Structure 1
Amino acid sequence: MVQFFSWVKSNEKELLTILENLAKKAVEASDAVLELMDDPTNKDKIAHISEIETEADVLTRDIFSELNKTFITPLDREDMQRVASKIDDIIDFMDGIGARFASYKITKSPPHTKQMAEELAKATREVEYMVGKLGNVKNPKLMIEHCRNTSVIEHVIDDLYRLAISELFESNDPIKIIKLKDIYETMETASDRCVDVADVVEDIVLKYT
């Protein structure tokens, strides 16, 4: 068994707990986006995504605050900051999807967005799994497999993005192109941020095992 610092104190464990809670918010946000795809005009669903983003911002600030107060951290301070920042980015882009649905007055989910949202939900669950195991990595190889899973999901979303853009540019409606291209790009970028988290986690696993 490979264990990260068995001597971690309670306040250091609290850092990992806050990080885990932030990862859970990413899952909540992706699930809320997926629900929005079936009911894109629902203002309550859009508001819910925004609420999750606000809660995530509080957790991110808490992590940085605790890192500044804690002398000995369970993992490298910079690594923890990077993980927190990238998860916060994921949630920001999820909120951006909802905001764009609202501002562009989307009444029907654009082609391929539900599939992209389904894949984003899978990606955030990979993030949640990886972050939840950071305090005690029993199987480094399995952890790295989950990191790579995130990249596989990102490739699926990239393929959907390229297909969506290709079909979109067959349209002669420039306003539609501008709106939907922005939505597609926001969803694709959210998946990139999931991979960013996986890359940092893989670096941590390789560093400490």
Structure 2
Amino acid sequence: MFFGKLLPRDGNFFELFNDHGQYIVEGARAFVSMIQYYNTPDLREKYASEVDNAERAADKVTAEVNRLLHRSFITPLDREQIHSLINAMDDVVDLLQDSCEVMALYDVQHITEDVQRLGDISLRCCERVAHAVTLLPRLAEAEVTEAALKTCEEIDKLESDADRVMRSAMSRLFREENDVRELIKLKAIYEHLETISDLCEDVANLIEGIVLENS
């Protein structure tokens, strides 16, 4: 019994997941605001800076989870599941930051409605991811398990929506954009934004696996 008390316990993995989920949402909201106010340089820079701040904060959480994994003898989930989940979540916020940088580096001159649509879907995906991780500590409850699986299904549907929006956007872009440089820029941005929903789906798939194994 005394030896058991000396063993490092499970720490606060679930709290750290929740913190990271909130930084994902903060980054996504700031990114959507940057798109909305893209033609106002001061606001564009303000919201881009907020995306950077969210990404840096999320990186610190990811690093803390990985440190905690090394210190903990007992964990609330399989160690590989914890490692895979936090890194998949971190990929989402990293890509939000990358998308900001691409738009700045490419000197995009105008934001299309399709960029706005993809940004909105990305935000909704990120919000669902953040909600799903809040359910992980209570998977022993049947209604929580059901809610978690439903949230993962919602993310899958949003990813399909993003696919449809991107296909439509690409078709319109190649039919209507006469400036080759703008075409190349917007194509890259569309692909970045659609990938955000792909990465959220990756997180959803991991969460679904955790739910099924631990419920």
Q: Deviations over 1:97-139 (max 9, x none)?
A: 2112211222432231111111111111111111011011222
Cross-structure match for 1:203: 209
The residue correspondences of 1:138-149 to structure 2 (distance < 5 A) are 138=141, 139=143, 140-149=145-154
**In the TM superposition, what is the alpha-carbon distance from 1:11 to its structure 2 partner?**
5.3
Per residue, is there more helix in 1 or in 2?
Answer: 2
**Equivalent residue, structure 1, for 2:115:** 113
CA deviation digits over 1:136-175, x for unaligned, max 9? 1222122111101000001111111111111111223221
Runs of 4+ in 1 over 4 A off after TM superposition: none
1:45 alignment counterpart: 47
| Aligned residue among 178, 183, 191 for 2:189 | 183
Q: Residue 152 and residue 45 in structure 1: after superposition, are their counterparts in 2 closer, same or farther (change >3 A)?
A: same
The CA RMSD over aligned residues, in Å, is 1.5
| CA radius of gyration, larger in | 2
Hey, what's the Cα distance between the residues in 2 that align with 1:68 and 1:190?
A: 29
Q: Could you tell me which of 48, 69, 72 is aligned with 2:71?
A: 69
| Structure 2: distance between partners of 1:155 and 1:44 | 31
User: 1:10 Cα shift?
Assistant: 9.2
Letter in 1 for 2:33: E
- Say which SS state the counterpart of residue 10 (structure 2) adopts: helix
Equivalent position of 1:4 in the other structure: none
What is the distance in 1 between the residues matched to 2:163 and 2:29? Answer: 20
Match of 2:83 among 81, 84, 87: 81
Quick one: higher RCO (CA 8 Å, sep 6+), 1 or 2?
1
**2:138 counterpart residue number:** 136
Superposed, which structure 2 residues align to 1:14-25 within 5 Å? 14-25=12-23
CA distance in structure 2 between the partners assigned to 1:108 and 1:189 by the alignment: 21
**Identical counterparts, % of pairs:** 26
TM-score after normalising by structure 2: 0.89
What is the number of residues matched between the two proteins? 201
